[in-house]
Structure 1
Amino acid sequence: MSINMKNIAIRSAKNSDLPKLAKFLQVLVDAERPFDPTLKTGEIFYYDIQELILDQKTEVLVVDYNSEVIGCGYAQIREANEYEQHEVFGYLGFMFVDEEFRGKGISNLLLNDLKKWILNQGINEVRLQVYDENESAVRAYEKAGFKKLTTMMRCNIG
């Protein structure tokens, strides 16, 4: 599918976007299930999307294509650990682009706008979490300038 990038607009999310964002979240959860055997079955809501939209320390953006929401992500100001050099950092989450629009540079546009919002808050440290086995996402984030910092490991001993 070829798309006209002139028809792409990135804007702040509104309450009217909530039904679409809730669907995106479930698609994201389903995509992450193969990477995380600890996820419960059924619908999972990692966070309250409406609360994120209302939060002064969070910017939720959506990607519109011809007035249809096709992607989203958020940036959030978070407190750093007391032993880190920075007091706060920008955290990125809920990064999603509808499958038929992937591989066209849309996620990079979204990432850039989220980074700009974080910079406008006077913050230059940006972090996110991604499943290590989600190789395509890891490559995309590395291409956008991110580097691996830690690896969380788990073990079921029961």
Structure 2
Amino acid sequence: MSIDTKNITIRPADKNDLPKLAQFLQILVDAERPFDPTLKEGEIFYYDIQELIEDKATEILVVESNNEIIASGYAQIRAAKPYEKYELFGYLGFMFVSSEFRGKGISGLLLEALKKWVLSQGITEVRLQVYDENEAAVRAYEKAGFKKILTTMRCDISE
């Protein structure tokens, strides 16, 4: 089921959005905990959202429905490794859609807007990271044209 896009707005985040974005980040962390046993307990801040809003190499977008923020994501220009084909690439992160809006095409709209921003910076390579076991997210990214290229593995050898 897709959503009526007449009531949807995608715009750059600003400092007034910080409380909502901080809330999204903690919901995102809680959702990722089952996939990652290395995460600490309690509040975790993967990054400083205000710093990302102010960073010229980053674009945080929020999606609003009827003037309520329902989703977020960022694109950031990063340097590639010296041995890679691209000097710079766009990295996507902080991808979040409120639960009541999932499965309605919001993530696709957000991904397209973020990719458009990366393209406007003259960059054609876009990457992101997703937990392999987060099947819904993997499907959404594959639907948006992403392909897996690397799997990170871990092993706890303390026992």
Question: TM range, normalised to the smaller chain?
Answer: over 0.9
Output one character per residue of 1:14-63: Cα deviation in whole Å (capped at 9) or x when no partner: 10000000000000000000000010000000000000000000000000
- 3-state SS of the aligned residue for 1:78? strand
Give the distance between the partners of 2:13 and 2:25, measured in 1 at CA. 14
SS at match of 2:117: helix
CA contact (8 A) 2:3 2:105 kept: no
- Corresponding residue number in structure 2 for 1:129: 129
Structure 2 unpaired stretches of 5+: none
TM-score (norm 2): 0.97
Percent of counterpart pairs with the same letter? Answer: 75
The amino acid that maps onto 2:115 is K
Gaps of 5+ in 1: none
Q: What letter matches 1:143 in structure 2?
A: K
Q: For residue 86 of structure 2, what is the aligned residue in structure 1?
A: 86
Specify the SS of the correspondent of 1:142: helix
Runs of 4+ in structure 1 deviating by more than 4 angstroms, as ranges, are none
Whether 2:139 is the aligned partner of 1:139: answer yes
Report how many residues are paired: 158
Which residue type is aligned with residue 92 of structure 1? L
Asked if structure 1 preserves the Cα contact closer than 8 Å seen for 2:91 and 2:128, the reply is: yes
Task: State the one-letter code of the partner of 1:150.
Answer: L
Q: 2: CA distance between counterparts of 1:17 and 1:67?
A: 12
Cα contact 2:63–2:70 (8 A) shared by 1 = yes
Is the Cα contact below 8 Å between 2:76 and 2:90 reproduced in 1?
A: yes
